[in-house]
């Protein structure tokens, strides 16, 4: 799996060039707007709710001494809590709403890599704007539920002193996996039904994790990150997913 993780990461190297070569930037205008608006909404929410959450947490401090300090720390913690939850929600909201716009991008990349007359392309499932949007929502709601469930389990595990240090890294890889999952499904939705796509990504989870690692790191870059994360991650995921589909078809 480690080899596939590096393959998923390496796919980003040619993403910018491929987008320019196939003139795909216009397809990303609306998804970029969705990404920016969602990021702003989450940031504003974090700022707004941090005081309320901080006030709630600070109530457990019953002593007068150090009360203001604890309240300040609680407000910062409240903001971070909303941001962490917002980060989880961000990627699923953006990927779900962007599905109808990303599917044509992955389709053009697939045609470029395989050729218009490829047998694999002729096996495409017919999908509409509405079905692509519903598929994106369904996949991402499912992934969000799974990710939140695993996050709760991992946070409980973090209370165990011996393995507590490992949980932060594990949480990052969980988030990366589901980010890569969503990016791969823009291609898979033309080839597989819902459950078959889930099975396919599980078998190729290394590629999903590798793609998602760079996705998550992009979000750490102020402003530019939320603008470029979707174009580059979807392009990188599409190229590798097409290669996997081709390899499966040739077996």
CA distance 148 to 156: 12
Per residue in 203-223, pLDDT tens?
999 999 999 999 999 988 888
What integer pLDDT is reported at residue 171 of this predicted model? 84
- 50-65: average pLDDT: 65
pLDDT band at residue 246 under the 50/70/90 scheme: confident
Mean pLDDT for 77-92 is 74
Position 118 confidence tier, pLDDT thresholds 50, 70, 90: low
Structure tokens at 9: 């990461």
Phi, psi torsion values for 139, nearest 5 degrees: -60, -45
Where is pLDDT greater, at 98 or 84? 98
What was the pLDDT predicted at 17?
A: 93
Q: With bands split at pLDDT 50, 70 and 90, how would you rate the model's confidence at 122?
A: very low
- Strand, helix or coil for residue 135: helix
Write out pLDDT tens, residues 176-194: 999 999 999 999 988 888 8
pLDDT in tens, 156-178: 776 666 666 677 788 889 999 99
The pLDDT of residue 73: 66
pLDDT tens, residue by residue, 226-242: 899 999 999 999 999 99
Say how far apart CA 150 and CA 148 lie, in whole Å.
5
In the predicted model, is pLDDT for residue 85 greater than 90?
Answer: no
In 14-162, where does DSSP find H-type helix? 15-21, 29-58, 67-114, 119-122, 129-157
pLDDT of residue 132: 79
Q: Is 142 exposed, middle or buried (0-12, 13-18, 19+ CB in 10 A)?
A: middle
The pLDDT assigned to 207 comes to 95
Most confident option among 104-113, 131-140, 161-170:
104-113
The residue among 157 and 103 whose pLDDT is bigger is 103
Which is nearest to 246 in space by CA: 114, 105, 112?
A: 114
What pTM does this model have? 0.84
Higher pLDDT, 166 or 101: 101
pLDDT at 218: 92
């Amino acid at each position: 799996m480690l080899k596939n993780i590096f393959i998923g990461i390496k796919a980003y190297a040619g993403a910018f060039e491929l987008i320019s070569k196939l003139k795909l930037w216009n397809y990303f205008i609306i998804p970029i707007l969705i990404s920016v608006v969602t990021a702003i909404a989450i940031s504003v929410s974090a700022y707004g709710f941090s005081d309320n959450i901080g006030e709630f947490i600070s109530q457990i401090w019953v002593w007068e001494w150090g009360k203001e300090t604890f309240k300040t720390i609680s407000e910062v913690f409240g903001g971070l809590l909303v941001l962490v939850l917002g980060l989880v929600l961000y990627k699923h909201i953006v990927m779900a709403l962007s599905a109808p716009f990303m599917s044509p991008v992955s389709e053009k990349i697939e045609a470029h890599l395989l050729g218009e007359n490829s047998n694999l392309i002729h096996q495409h499932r017919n999908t509409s704007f509405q079905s692509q949007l519903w598929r994106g929502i369904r996949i991402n709601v499912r992934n969000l539920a799974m990710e939140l469930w695993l996050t709760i389990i991992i946070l409980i595990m973090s209370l165990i002193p011996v393995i507590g240090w490992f949980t932060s890294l594990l949480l990052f890889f969980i988030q990366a996996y589901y980010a890569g999952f969503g990016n791969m499904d823009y291609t898979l939705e033309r080839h597989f039904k819902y459950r078959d796509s889930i099975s396919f990504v599980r078998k190729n989870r290394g590629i999903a994790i590798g793609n998602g690692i760079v996705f998550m790191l992009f979000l750490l870059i102020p402003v530019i990150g939320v603008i470029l994360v979707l174009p580059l991650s979807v392009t990188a995921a599409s190229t590798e997913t097409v290669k996997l589909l081709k390899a499966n078809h040739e077996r």
